[in-house]
Chain A
């Protein structure tokens, strides 16, 4: 019996090896346009990778149903990075070398995009990241703009500034404490820029406390913060931790609002018992789910129909990234990499879900941010902040 299973298993492995060898050479299919997405489908940040992929898939379905791009259908190939830099490099390289994709989409984590960016530069394939916020992704350390790399999201400095401005001017707070996620460069970046802007505007940062992703107990940090009596607490993390932070803060008797960034945007943020804890908090985002513009409404409805849940920021950014790519290819009139790159860099006032997107000289997306207020568990529009 065991012997039989061994043989079967060995056969399976051998089959795998052989079929891989056979797949090496790729025949050119000219009737499809290949788009590659390298994403964290498994591992630490799989939740964001899976959401982005869902958004991209929805966009591809719509585009193909409307006749595709340049009369060709779009074929999306998603490769997993296991949330590691090693596999990010492998996935990006595979999509470019083996599949010959026209455009590379991805990653959520800036560190993983930073592994793929030099590969895209070397292979001269345009890469568009939906949600990597670190400035270095598009502009390297020496200050040179990476020719082939673009993004559709805000960068860290922008969002930090927006929220600092909002806290000072709209909420007229004076004393703020920060609680950031030290294991997450997005959170650290936002905290740094928030602090700089807020202090420059004459505000006072009482403390900059930190935690580490995956931790679930924040009472020690919150106890310290409570004793300083701040007007508000800036928590630039992901919704995965923010819900717990809010609940524990309320348990400790902290009543001041929490402020955050687009990492908060998920229907999971205010589910169940977290609804009360987050009442009256604010965060900066790209758009508002309850936005009445027909486009946003159609997107949220379709997303809900397809996946049985409301979209978060990652899904919306993925969706927009795919549409911008389709738009660039249409404008370029071909799938030639130079032409598509040029078209991408000339993207202007593209009406996306996450705002009117213009790609600037630094290859960042220029768009205004909205500040949402949490009311009865819903994200309601509060203010628009210009860059």
Chain B
């Protein structure tokens, strides 16, 4: 079986596993645990989509929450204002349509922001994307029909375990296939040495814009999922801090390591919740859970600077376990 066919098989297995898992999850977890799981899933989508821009292509973006906001607002506005809120009856097809609409509008924004990235590098690009994210937030705050600062409320709850992780599976599938194609080589070449890549004829422009568009698309979908789970979205939640949170997940996970980034997203979303209940030496951690969260960031970076799974290669690992000899060096990092 060719590699391409195998990846479709993996996707199918992934879907089956998610549907299979959803039953014990729905039955065994109380609604708080379930909410954590869904939030973890959404964080994973956000982090993995930013990883495409930041990790694989090396374009430092600080405006990912802006893409999420566009997706969340488009999807939520469509559901509440165009299709009407019919609580209880989850219209699966409708949900898919609004999610994709959210993704597409975010992708268009990604295209717009990808274009200046052609001329800018490093911190300058970071600032431009940051500015973009803030502009989105401030503009949303000033649009009265979209609820202004209160945001859109009363969004029906369509997001489920299957939706969240199904979309995550699609994202991983797209990422893995993209990375094995010419695009993937292009991304990595752009990241590793843009000048060298240009000089051997790699169209870095194309790869940068593609990374922005695909990354933004999935961030937009994550926004839609978030809105349809939390029942309310407001501009304040898509500020600079949210973007920073996502960047932290990517870097902590090890730039460019999909599994590491997913692990970091899960850890960083779960940690603040876990700290609510911890008590050590009679001191309740609840009161300063965010202080501990911040300290963990610093210590993790000092003691594991390559990221959680930064130098970990899943294929390499499996090969090692199977005892097969190491493949000759490839361009993959």
How long is the Cα–Cα vector from A42 to B291 in the complex, in angstroms? 10
Identify the interface centre among A5, A12, A80, A184: most chain B CB within 10 Å of its CB. A80
Asked whether, in the complex, the Cβ of A79 is within 8 Å of the Cβ of B276, the reply is yes
> For the complex, is A86 an interface residue (Cβ under 8 Å from B)?
yes
Q: A16-B275, A17-B274, A111-B151 are in contact. Are A123 and B303 (CB under 8 A)?
A: no
Which residues in window 32-74 of A have CB below 8 A to B? 41-42, 44
A156 to chain B, nearest CB (A): 10
Contact yes or no, A111 B154, CB < 8 A: no
Closest to A7 in B: B303
For B237, give the chain A residue with the smallest CB separation.
A85
A356 at the B interface (CB under 8 A): no
The stretch of A92-100, A200-208, A375-383 that contacts the partner chain: A92-100
B271 partner residues in chain A, CB cutoff 8 A: 16
A86–B31 CB distance below 8 A: no
Whether B35 and A93, one on each chain, are in contact in the complex, defined by CB atoms closer than 8 angstroms, is yes
B272 CB–A CB distance under 8 Å:
yes
Q: State which of B39, B85, B276 has its C-beta within 8 Å of the C-beta of A86.
A: B39
Alpha-carbon distance between A313 and B26 when the two chains are bound, in angstroms: 42
Residues of B within 8 A of A5 (CB): 299, 303
Q: Are B277 and A19 touching (Cβ within 8 A)?
A: yes
Stretch of B163-171, B186-194, B225-233 contacting A (4+ beta carbons < 8 Å): B225-233
The answer to whether A9 has its CB under 8 Å from any CB of chain B is yes
A115, chain B: closest CB distance, angstroms? 5
Contact check, B303 vs A183: say whether CB atoms are below 8 A apart. no
Q: Does B14 contact A (CB under 8 A)?
A: no
- Which 5 A-B pairs rank lowest in CB-CB distance, beginning with the nearest? A185-B150, A97-B32, A97-B30, A93-B32, A6-B303
Name the CB-closest residue of A to B291: A42
Is A188 engaged at the interface, CB distance under 8 Å to the other chain?
Answer: yes
A98 pairs with B148, CB closer than 8 A = no
B274 shortest CB reach to chain A, Å: 5
Cα A89 to Cα B231 with chains together (Å): 9
Q: A42-B290, A97-B31 are in contact. List 9 more A-B contacts (CB 8 A).
A: A9-B303, A12-B280, A15-B280, A80-B276, A90-B273, A97-B30, A111-B151, A122-B31, A188-B149
Q: Check if A20 sits within 8 Å of B303, measured CB to CB.
A: no
B278 contacts A by Cβ under 8 Å: yes
A2 at the interface (CB under 8 A from B): yes
A residues contacting the other copy or chain, number (CB 8 A): 51
Distance, CA A321 to CA B275, complexed state (A): 28
Q: Return B158 CB to nearest CB of chain A, in Å.
A: 13
Q: Which residue of B lies closest to A113 (CB)?
A: B232
Tell me which residues across on chain A come within 8 A of B276, comparing CB atoms: 79-80, 94
Q: How far is the CA of A231 from the CA of B78 in the complex (A)?
A: 44
Given contacts A86-B230, A94-B32, contact A140 B154 (CB under 8 A): yes
Among residues of B, the one whose C-beta sits closest to the C-beta of A21 is: B274
Separation in Å of the A93 CB from the closest CB of chain B?
Answer: 4
Shortest Cβ gap from B86 to chain A (Å): 11
Residue B157 at the A interface, CB < 8 A? yes
- A-to-B contact residues, CB < 8 Å: 2, 5-6, 9, 12-13, 15-17, 19-20, 23-24, 41-42, 44, 78-80, 82-87, 89-90, 93-94, 96-98, 110-111, 114-115, 118-119, 122-123, 134, 136, 140-142, 182-185, 188, 212
A84 touches B237 (CB 8 A): yes
Contact of A110 among B85, B150, B157 (CB under 8 A): B150
Is A141 touching B154 in the complex (CB atoms < 8 A)? yes
A199 to chain B, nearest CB (A): 18
With A141-B85, A182-B142 as given contacts, are A115 and B231 in contact (CB-CB < 8 Å)? yes
List B residues 160-201 near A (Cβ within 8 Å): none
- Which one, A19, A94, A118, contacts B278 given CB within 8 A? A19
Residues from chain A with a CB closer than 8 A to the CB of B150 are 110-111, 114, 134, 185, 188
Please, which residues of chain B bring their CB within 8 A of the CB of A86? 39, 226, 230, 237
Identify B153's interface contact among A80, A136, A184, CB under 8 A: A136
Closest Cβ of chain B to A183, distance in Å, is: 5
B window 282-314: CB within 8 A of A: 285-287, 289-290, 296, 299, 302-303
Bound together, the chains give a CA A6 to CA B303 distance in angstroms of: 6
- Whether A85 and B232, one on each chain, are in contact in the complex, defined by CB atoms closer than 8 angstroms, is yes
Which of A5, A84, A86 has the most chain B CB atoms closer than 10 A to its own CB? A86
- Chain B residues in 8 Å Cβ range of A84: 236-237
Chain B nearest CB: distance from A173 CB in Å? 27
Whether A90 pairs with B151 at a CB distance below 8 angstroms is no
Q: A90–B235 Cα gap in the complex (Å)?
A: 19
Q: Is B141 an interface residue (CB 8 A)?
A: yes
Residues of B within 8 A of A82 (CB): 272, 290
Select from chain A the residue with minimum beta-carbon distance to B303.
A6
Look across to chain B and name the residue whose beta carbon is closest to the beta carbon of A140.
B154
Interface string of B38-49 (1 = CB under 8 A from A): 010000000000
| Residues B234 and A93 in contact, CB atoms below 8 Å apart | no
Q: CA separation between A97 and B34, bound complex, in Å?
A: 11
Mind listing 10 A-B residue pairs with CB under 8 Å? A16-B271, A20-B277, A44-B236, A79-B276, A85-B230, A90-B273, A111-B150, A115-B232, A118-B157, A212-B141
In whole Å, how far is B69's beta carbon from the nearest beta carbon of chain A?
A: 12
Q: Which of B85-141 contact A (CB under 8 A)?
A: 85, 138, 141
Q: Name the residue among B33, B149, B150 with the largest chain A CB count within 10 angstroms.
A: B149
Tell me, rounded to whole Å, the shortest Cβ–Cβ distance linking A287 to chain B: 27
Cβ contacts B251-277/A at 8 Å (1 or 0 each): 000000000000000000001111111
Q: Given the complex, which residues of B lie within 8 Å of A183, measured CB to CB? A: 141, 149, 235-236
B36: interface (CB < 8 Å): yes
Q: Would B31 and A115 count as touching, CB distance under 8 A?
A: no
Contacts of B32 in A (CB 8 A): 90, 93-94, 96-98
A42 to B272, CA, bound (A): 12
The CA of A15 and the CA of B33, in the complex, are separated in Å by 19
- CB contacts (< 8 Å) of B299 on chain A: these are 5, 9
Cα distance, A349 to B157, chains bound together (Å): 37
Q: Which residues of B contact A16 (CB under 8 A)?
A: 271, 274-275, 278, 285
Query: How far apart are the CA atoms of A44 and B234 in the complex, in Å?
Result: 14
Contact A141 B153 (CB under 8 A): yes
